[in-house]
Structure 1
Amino acid sequence: MILAEASAETVAAPATLFAIWGEMESWPEWNADTAWVRLDGPFAQGVTGKLKPKGGPAVRFEVAKLTATEFDDVSRLLGARLTFAHTVTPVADGRVSVGVRVELTGPLRPLWNLILGTDIAKSVRPDLAALIARAEARDAATAGRA
């Protein structure tokens, strides 16, 4: 069950986007529904962490996939899995498409959809826009120092 999807184009460098995703402790600065995030090691495939959504209980997650173009984090809920799949795809003229898809699987997905679905669906697009703005600003600041 797909809860939400969003994509947008940006001039931000893919490395900058992945750097921001990897700085999980700063997610609350651009991800409106996140109270805090702690990663148990360096940003790498297989590393685990804990995330606390605003207004909800903390949940454990795993960086299930991390390649040059994809980053998936998976939270195991009681009877369900919540996957945030992030992609970066070159399009043209130095631009990239950044996508986020949130999927819920497992036998208790209808229950979790009732609990989480509406809030997640509302936040994916604005959070993606905030991520892109942060990445573009970082790239502009870096270019200004060069």
Structure 2
Amino acid sequence: MTIIAAARPTSTAAPAAFFAKWADMATWPEWNADTEWARLDGPFQQGATGTLKPKGGPKVGFIVERLSDTEFVDVSKLVGARLIVDHQVGTDADRTTVTVTISIEGPLSWLWTTIMGGGLAESVQPDLDALVAAAEVVTV
């Protein structure tokens, strides 16, 4: 597995506010500049499937591989690879730390890293900063 990018801001928002934003995939383009749209096929739960349309790229299916009160992992199947986005939240006193790690695995991971790795590395921090701003106005 190759890590493409990671970011780790802190926030005054509760962990539940981040899960509310992640679950409301129709609003992802509001804080994720690389996403044209995202749709979930059913409720936000482990095993759920959906489709995401990156700006300038083809639609890609994904699955919610893991979901708990501290972690949300979605996996997109690419030709010859799997793109894994691991979202984690933790609390320390009155702050929430959000960690997002984007990694890839599979025989063609080198190709996908070449194609989209640079863009993902550049956008993960600004997108996560925008998510923090959006979550801080959510009341849960």
Same fold (TM over 0.5): yes
TM range (shorter): over 0.9
Mapped to 1, the partners of 2:80 and 2:62 lie a distance apart of 15
| Letter aligned with residue 57 of structure 1 | P
Per the normalisation by structure 2, the TM-score is 0.97
Mapped to 1, the partners of 2:118 and 2:92 lie a distance apart of 31
| Letter aligned with residue 96 of structure 2 | V
Task: Render the CA deviation track for 1:18-46: whole Å, top value 9, x for unaligned.
Answer: 00000001100110000001100011000
Structure number with bigger Rg = 1
* 2:103 alignment counterpart: 103
Structure with larger RCO (C-alpha < 8 A, sep 6+)? 2
* 1:115 alignment counterpart: 115
Per the normalisation by structure 1, the TM-score is 0.93
1:1-146 equivalence runs, <5 A: 1-92=2-93, 94-139=94-139
Q: Could you list the runs of 5+ residues in structure 1 that have no partner in the other structure? A: none
Task: Render the CA deviation track for 1:84-140: whole Å, top value 9, x for unaligned.
Answer: 000001122x2111000000000100000011100100110001000000011224x
Higher helix share: 1
Percent identity at matched positions?
55
Q: Could you list the runs of 5+ residues in structure 2 that have no partner in the other structure? A: none
| Letter aligned with residue 18 of structure 1 | F
Q: Which runs of 4+ in 1 moved over 6 A?
A: none
